[in-house]
Copies of this chain bind each other. A is one copy, B any other.
Amino acid sequence: MEKPLILVTNDDGITAPGLRKLIALMKQLGEVVVVAPDSPQSGMGHAITIDNTLYSKKMTIDKDNGASLEYSCSGTPADCVKLALQELLPKKPDIVVSGINHGSNASINVIYSGTMSAAIEAGIEGLPAIGFSLCDYKWDANFDGFDKEIKQIVSEALTNGLPKGTVLNVNIPKTDGKPVKGIRVCRQAKANWKEKFDKRFSPSGKEYYWLTGEFELLDKGEDTDIFALNNNYISVVPTQFDLTAHHAMQTLNNWNLNE
């Protein structure tokens, strides 16, 4: 049987250790092609480049352990997927994986996530797709302790496909190299960010802000991704890109909109 073709991308950029780890794992499952941003794209949400040009460059990052084919791209994670599928890949991939992100994309973070936007873009194109994120923002985060679980999730997706209209948002607890406890299928926990703007003045006296904030969990459920992660389980949330709130339609139909 032919080896599956796996497209690997991320939002931390093509040199990120989390991407390198994912490439190494995916090479055990199939043929790997990388198309990843040439610079960090964290917090890019589902941005695409429509008013600017895109560049891509074939490159070799790690001669011994890298993928057979790697490209950097000047765009966002969603751009990388579009360009890969349309221009760079020799054929349609069997699966698209994104990450491993340096930092959590659990709960409401999925909305801001470049990692997940790459997976969602692939999902829109009808491909099985998974975003992986480790709950550790550090560049030198420890990516050991969950090799088996990542390969298992990707293998199951390759075997079974994914439920229609969904991609997977996989988050991995920070265990500093110790094994995780297992894998839990979860829902996205309700939460938001309590923003705080750090106001400063430039050397020339101009006022500016840094966005900072604290994660505020508004959900005590034990079936959420945050609960799973807090208990050292990997969380798997099926994530959809049809944003229609079907449950709200009846209420709106009772509004006085057409007299």
A residues neighboring B (CB under 8 Å) = 40, 42-51, 53-56, 78-79, 82-83, 85-87, 108, 110-112, 117, 120, 124-126, 149, 152-153, 156, 160, 162-163, 165-166, 168-169, 182-183, 185, 187-188, 190, 192, 195-197, 199-200, 206-211, 236-249, 251-253, 255-258
B78, B160, B166, B197: the one contacting A45 at CB < 8 Å is B78
Q: List 30 A-B contacts (CB under 8 A).
A: A40-B51, A43-B47, A43-B50, A45-B117, A46-B111, A46-B112, A48-B112, A50-B211, A53-B209, A54-B197, A54-B208, A55-B206, A55-B209, A83-B209, A86-B195, A86-B196, A87-B199, A87-B209, A110-B243, A111-B243, A124-B192, A153-B257, A163-B245, A163-B247, A163-B248, A185-B257, A188-B244, A236-B252, A238-B249, A238-B251
- Min Cβ gap A174→B in Å is 19
Bound Cα distance A156, B257 (Å): 8
Would A255 and B160 be within 8 Å (CB), given that A209-B83, A249-B187 are in contact? yes
Across the interface, do B42 and A51 meet the contact criterion of CB distance under 8 Å?
yes
The 7 closest A-B pairs by CB, nearest first: A45-B46, A163-B248, A238-B248, A45-B45, A240-B245, A238-B245, A166-B245
Which residues in B have their C-beta under 8 angstroms from that of A240? 243-245, 248
- Min Cβ gap A148→B in Å is 10
